[in-house]
Structure 1
Amino acid sequence: MATAITAPTYDPVTTSQGLADQYVLARQQILNAQTSAASATAKALTELGSAMTTFQGTLASLTGLNKSVFTQSAVYSDAGFGSATASASAAAGSYSFFVKQLASASQVSYTGLGDNAGVGGALKIKLGGASAFEVDLAAADSDANGILSTRELAAAINGAADNKSLVTASIVTTGSTSELVLTAKNTGASNRITIDTSGVTGPSSLAAANADPARVRELVIAQDAEIRIGSETGTPIIQASNTFTAIDGVKMTFTKAHAAGSAPLTVTVGTDTAATTANVQAFVDAYNKLKAVLNKLTDAGDPSKGAAGGAFAHDGGIRALNDRLVSLLRPAAGGDTLAAYGIIATKEGTLELRSDRLQAQLARNPNGLDKLIGSSSASAPSGIAASLDGFLKSWSNATSGQILKRKDANTTLQKTIEDRQAALEVQHEAAYQRYLKQFTALATLQNSMTNNLSMFDAIFGNDKD
């Protein structure tokens, strides 16, 4: 009997796949690592850019044009007379005013109006005796039925090209007739409403009403506001608006007038400690959020504990950015410091606010805080805010910043890695096909030999004569 030959059993496809994988394994591992690093970099750059933009937005809201961290308030001795606000430049102190009268907006009505046929020409609306705008009455007949209704008249006044909401017209219907009510947008004697119907043609009930003093009523008389400095007999200040800026840096709005013989209103201007503290805390919180992102992205990690480092753990440029932010909090010249106002640096590089120290320093030097922090306004940059904003713009600028440049470079790198991956896959496929061809031929040969062995065994086996 022939000796049996036991050949190894294998699948050419599986064997070829495994050998092809081994053929490209080292290069595939390198590409995998590069792909992972590039993806982490792209995500980290987006996170960093977002953190910078958020911080710059907070800076703008706190220190932008006409804004400041230091806040003052203007408080009325009687809140029933209105309210006031004070800018950081307002001089602290108490001021007295007697509100003699409030400004009012003109409101006039024309009674006994009806719908009229054949009305045309131009209706002139006047403010303070001067023509404000004209209304084309022929065009006011919106349904073109030859009759100008009172509602069409009101709509034409409101829709006049030059009206621009200076005067609002409305209709009040009383029985078989209507009343046209005109209301001025702005207060003051210079905005008293009158109409000129000399240019109106046809049988106009409005023209007839305007010519009859009994049918024209001033519902609200237009008048200027008048306040007196110090007392009822003090120096008068007269203007069309109820909002006054008689005190530098203070805006006062009055909603009530004094009765004759009443005590004047006191306006007290001083530091708004609560608002200032809230602004400083907002600055501290915004900076800490940015710093937390930078600290995370540049963290070295701890391999002994299996803690991976940040995406920029070995990036000198990002670490320099992190360090530069800390240095910008320290003014180059002498004078007040953030620490003097209770803004203290921690060992992690973040900030914390000690409100008691802030309040004590504000009492000693209230204007020093704004001078120190300054403004991020593009028109008048100053102080720490300008330094921080200017430096961050070199990174966050949407057209030329470092983050954009880094993103572009990283995108190019990712495209290169994709090309290398595609080339490696071609090599893998070529190796697979080569191995498959070889092992398929080997399997075929093995099967042939096995078949021959079986044939020999059948012919020459011991059980044959």
Structure 2
Amino acid sequence: MASFSSLGIGLGGNVDVNGLIKASVDAVKLPITKTGGLQQQAALTKAKVSAFGQFKSMVSTLSDSLGKLTSVTGWNGVSATSSKSDQVSVSAVGGASPTSFSVQVQNLAKAQSSISASLQPAKEPVGAGTLKLEVGAWAGTPKTFTAGTAKAVNIDVSATDTLADIAGKINGSGANVTATILNDASGERLMLRSKTTGEAAGYQLSVTDADGTQGDSTGLSRLVTGSTTEFALNANATVNGIAVTSATDVFADTVAGVTFTAKSTTTDPITITVAKDNSAVKANVQAFVTAYNALNSALNDATAYDQSTKSGALLQGDSSAITLQNTLRMALQSVIGNGALRNLSDIGVVVDGGTGNTTPNGSLRLDATKFDKAMADPDAVKAFFRGPDDGTPTDGFAEKFKGVTTKLLDSGGFFATKAKTYDDALKRNAQDTETITDRADRMQKNLTDRYTALDTKMAGLNALNSYISQQVTTWNKSR
């Protein structure tokens, strides 16, 4: 609002014009600023948007937990153990068949390595030419090299390149080897090692020497002549006496669904055991209980009424929040089939009874003793949650409940509809606020203009009155 520091001179100098204008403008803005007005309505709506956004996230978490109970892999958990895990470790994927077998490791996988003869003097140029690195396999006695499908890598060496320069070029070439320098009492040596293990990942280094003589002990040929090589090996083991091999120390799917890793050679058989693991099922059921309780607690808090303060929480009495809570509680009461396990209580998921004077709030609790007893027949518990294997996607408890959460989360479902309702309300609120604010701004400008004009007029009249008074006084004195 504009300041009228000099306004009011014509009105007598003691008129609070600013106060008069502010009072009029505030009266126009009252629908925005009053208790329960547009400003508070917008804040309340935004708080509800945040609350339902939290509920949506929790329903999504609940839906995910139900997904684990409907998934086949959620019921096919297995444990895999090794009698000597420091020598052979093991893991298994869900659904792997329970089994037991013995493993003996004859040798671990090894990468090919080689070292050149000593080059003297050290740190001097080696000689110009081209190095050629090929990836492939060595076999037979004596060893013969068979190149693989990978393209050979050619490395140009200049007349000024030292052994360190050559090692750097090899490492930067993208070849499947690493190069390092060994310094000993006799000079420098080039050490190469394949980046991967296994017989198929061997390599061959050959030289085209610029001096025109290949295979001698001068120039670039010195990197090959007199070098020694340790050839690559596959890891070799036996499973129940049957020979198996792997390019690495990891034997994946040698036994279906099972991966065992050789850590050292063995002298005695290592026993690998794969068994059903019901702890994963229990963890998934507990995850469902935890997710449901978090959502139920949030809904309880948001719809609560405090008798001591006679005040309600944000969504106390809100029909949408109550509908959501009732929908979820009805889903909990689903009765499944005609078997021994027909509801959650039968598998050990019970409503918490509260303590003392506390009444049940709808929270769930997993009775471990009752659950473990039900899991004596894991197929029956599985059928309760998933339905029979030849049934429909809505035969099991988890499948039915997940159907409820899916509808709530759908693009046209409960939360989407609620979000649109609140969005429309906020847009209307913003429009109404803008309309009233514009009206108040126009009133302020109008009143300012009118008071300014009145003040100017009154200032002129006051000046005229002062002049007339002066003239009368002068005339009286002249008589």
- TM-score, normalised to structure 1, is 0.70
Alignment partners' CA distance in 2, 1:68 and 1:429? 64
Structure 1 position 171 matched with structure 2 position 186: no
Structure 1 counterpart of 2:291, from 281, 286, 289: 286
How far the C-alpha of 1:97 sits from its partner, in A, is 0.8
Structure 1 counterpart of 2:350, from 335, 344, 348: 344
Q: Which residue of 1 aligns with 2:325?
A: 322
Q: Which residue of 1 aligns with 2:264?
A: 256
How far the C-alpha of 1:99 sits from its partner, in A, is 0.5
Deviations 1:100-149 (A, max 9, x none): 414312232122265433212633232453334422212xx5xxx64444
AA in 1 matched with 2:155: L
Please tell me whether the aligned partners of residues 73 and 271 of structure 1 are also in contact (alpha carbons under 8 angstroms).
yes
Please tell me whether the aligned partners of residues 117 and 222 of structure 2 are also in contact (alpha carbons under 8 angstroms).
no
Structure 1 counterpart of 2:199, from 189, 193, 203: 189
Alignment partners' CA distance in 1, 2:107 and 2:346? 46
Alignment partners' CA distance in 2, 1:434 and 1:217? 99
Structure 1 counterpart of 2:47, from 40, 46, 58: 40
How far the C-alpha of 1:235 sits from its partner, in A, is 3.3
How far the C-alpha of 1:413 sits from its partner, in A, is 2.7
Unaligned runs of 5+ in 2: 1-13, 120-124, 139-145, 353-359, 388-392, 470-479
Alignment partners' CA distance in 2, 1:101 and 1:371? 45
SS in 2 for 1:411: helix
Please tell me whether the aligned partners of residues 129 and 209 of structure 2 are also in contact (alpha carbons under 8 angstroms).
yes
Change (3 A) 1:100 1:291: same
SS in 2 for 1:79: coil
Structure 1 position 119 matched with structure 2 position 129: yes
Please tell me whether the aligned partners of residues 48 and 315 of structure 2 are also in contact (alpha carbons under 8 angstroms).
yes
AA in 1 matched with 2:163: T
Q: Which residue of 1 aligns with 2:84?
A: 78
Structure 2 counterpart of 1:137, from 155, 162, 187: 155
How far the C-alpha of 1:195 sits from its partner, in A, is 0.1
Change (3 A) 1:81 1:409: same
SS in 1 for 2:112: strand
Please tell me whether the aligned partners of residues 344 and 353 of structure 1 are also in contact (alpha carbons under 8 angstroms).
yes
Structural mapping, 1:93-242, within 5 Å: 95-112=100-117, 114=119, 115-120=125-130, 122-127=132-137, 129-131=146-148, 132-138=150-156, 141=157, 146-161=159-174, 163=175, 166-175=176-185, 176-186=187-197, 188-191=198-201, 193-197=202-206, 200-202=208-210, 207-210=221-224, 212=226, 215-218=227-230, 221-229=232-240, 234-242=241-249
How far the C-alpha of 1:258 sits from its partner, in A, is 2.4
Structural mapping, 1:318-397, within 5 Å: 318-329=321-332, 330=334, 332-335=336-339, 336=341, 337-346=343-352, 347-362=360-375, 364-369=376-381, 372-373=384-385, 391-396=404-409
Please tell me whether the aligned partners of residues 105 and 183 of structure 1 are also in contact (alpha carbons under 8 angstroms).
no
Q: Which residue of 2 aligns with 1:309?
A: 313
SS in 2 for 1:39: helix
How far the C-alpha of 1:395 sits from its partner, in A, is 4.7
Deviations 1:358-394 (A, max 9, x none): 22222x223555555569xxxxx89655655565455
Please tell me whether the aligned partners of residues 113 and 178 of structure 1 are also in contact (alpha carbons under 8 angstroms).
yes
Alignment partners' CA distance in 1, 2:248 and 2:420? 55
How far the C-alpha of 1:424 sits from its partner, in A, is 1.6
Sequence identity (%): 20
Please tell me whether the aligned partners of residues 72 and 86 of structure 1 are also in contact (alpha carbons under 8 angstroms).
yes
Please tell me whether the aligned partners of residues 116 and 224 of structure 2 are also in contact (alpha carbons under 8 angstroms).
no
Alignment partners' CA distance in 2, 1:17 and 1:71? 73
Deviations 1:1-43 (A, max 9, x none): xxxxxxxx98554355445544653575442343233222222
How far the C-alpha of 1:224 sits from its partner, in A, is 3.1
Please tell me whether the aligned partners of residues 93 and 257 of structure 2 are also in contact (alpha carbons under 8 angstroms).
yes
Alignment partners' CA distance in 2, 1:428 and 1:195? 88
Structure 1 counterpart of 2:428, from 405, 416, 422: 416
Change (3 A) 1:221 1:432: closer
Alignment partners' CA distance in 2, 1:154 and 1:372? 65
Deviations 1:53-101 (A, max 9, x none): 44456667x56988526643122223332322234423445x2414041
Please tell me whether the aligned partners of residues 288 and 351 of structure 1 are also in contact (alpha carbons under 8 angstroms).
yes
Alignment partners' CA distance in 2, 1:371 and 1:240? 42
Structure 1 position 270 matched with structure 2 position 275: yes
How far the C-alpha of 1:414 sits from its partner, in A, is 1.9
Please tell me whether the aligned partners of residues 80 and 273 of structure 2 are also in contact (alpha carbons under 8 angstroms).
yes
Alignment partners' CA distance in 2, 1:87 and 1:53? 26
Please tell me whether the aligned partners of residues 113 and 180 of structure 1 are also in contact (alpha carbons under 8 angstroms).
no
Structure 1 position 296 matched with structure 2 position 296: no
SS in 2 for 1:349: coil
Change (3 A) 1:367 1:75: farther
Please tell me whether the aligned partners of residues 112 and 203 of structure 2 are also in contact (alpha carbons under 8 angstroms).
no
Change (3 A) 1:407 1:147: farther
Please tell me whether the aligned partners of residues 102 and 255 of structure 1 are also in contact (alpha carbons under 8 angstroms).
no
Alignment partners' CA distance in 1, 2:161 and 2:147? 26
SS in 1 for 2:311: coil
SS in 1 for 2:378: coil
Q: Name whichever of 384-393 and 405-414 sits farther off.
A: 384-393
Change (3 A) 1:156 1:303: same
Q: Which residue of 1 aligns with 2:142?
A: none
Change (3 A) 1:196 1:289: same
Aligned length: 411
Alignment partners' CA distance in 2, 1:167 and 1:104? 16
Alignment partners' CA distance in 2, 1:265 and 1:365? 31
Please tell me whether the aligned partners of residues 40 and 311 of structure 1 are also in contact (alpha carbons under 8 angstroms).
no
Alignment partners' CA distance in 2, 1:361 and 1:26? 62
Change (3 A) 1:149 1:48: farther
Change (3 A) 1:209 1:353: same
Deviations 1:279-314 (A, max 9, x none): 4333322332233233334x1535784332333742
